[in-house]
Amino acid sequence: MTERKKKFGEEIVTVIGDELNVGDTAPNFKAINNDLSEYDFYKEEEGKIKIISVVPSLDTSVCEIQTTKFNQAAADISPDVVIVTISNDLPFAQERFCSAKGIDQVKTVSDYNYLDFADKYGTLIKELKLQNRAVFVIDKDNKLVHIEYLEQNTSLPDYKAAIEAAKNLI
């Protein structure tokens, strides 16, 4: 398994797994919904354009900004587009965060139990067992059309590029 070095603030961390490439088929993965039911990416998002927003933890300022920005953008995108935020936060914490912050356009799922997403998308921070910040845009046929793996986890992704990539698929 490939190991890559990234920044988490001032620290250097190890991210495990291979990075995906534009044109690859987005791997199916299982995670946990906020109601503790199992989430199956292909099954639940079949036929939709998908934006996956990956955050280390919703309870941090940069992750909150990222999730809020995508939540706001979701109101201006077609109903054919779904935005999924994934982290290793417990589902209870994700639900509490969304309720407290008015996040109602973005679906949150947790990879804490299986780490299936982290394994297949190459986003697990080895030392912290958190997700490395990233954004993926996936077409209706599950082809990756836009990918951004961030080198610095305290930086924000390019929302406009991800939103435009999704809009171009409509």
Identify which of 76, 72, 37 has the alpha carbon closest to the alpha carbon of residue 53: 72
Return the amino acid letter for 50. Answer: K
- The Cα 43–Cα 50 span in angstroms is 13
Burial of residue 24 (number of CB atoms within 10 Å: 0-12, 13-18, 19+): middle
Count other C-beta atoms under 10 Å from residue 82's C-beta: 19
Over the Cα atoms of the chain, what is R_g?
14
pLDDT of residue 75: 85
- The Cα 162–Cα 53 span in angstroms is 10
Please say if the pLDDT value at position 89 is more than 90. yes
pLDDT single digits (tens) 69-78: 999 999 889 8
Query: Could you tell me the CA-to-CA distances from 29 to 38, 105, 114, 127 in Å, in that order?
Result: 10, 21, 9, 22
- The residues, any chain, with a CB within 8 Å of residue 99's CB and separated by 6 or more, are none
- The Cα 32–Cα 110 span in angstroms is 5
- The Cα 155–Cα 151 span in angstroms is 8
Please say if the pLDDT value at position 18 is more than 80. yes
Please say if the pLDDT value at position 80 is more than 80. yes
Q: Does residue 63 carry a catalytic annotation?
A: yes
Please say if the pLDDT value at position 1 is more than 80. no
Please say if the pLDDT value at position 156 is more than 80. yes
Token pair in block for residue 46: 């079949």
Catalytic residue among 26, 31, 63, 73: 63
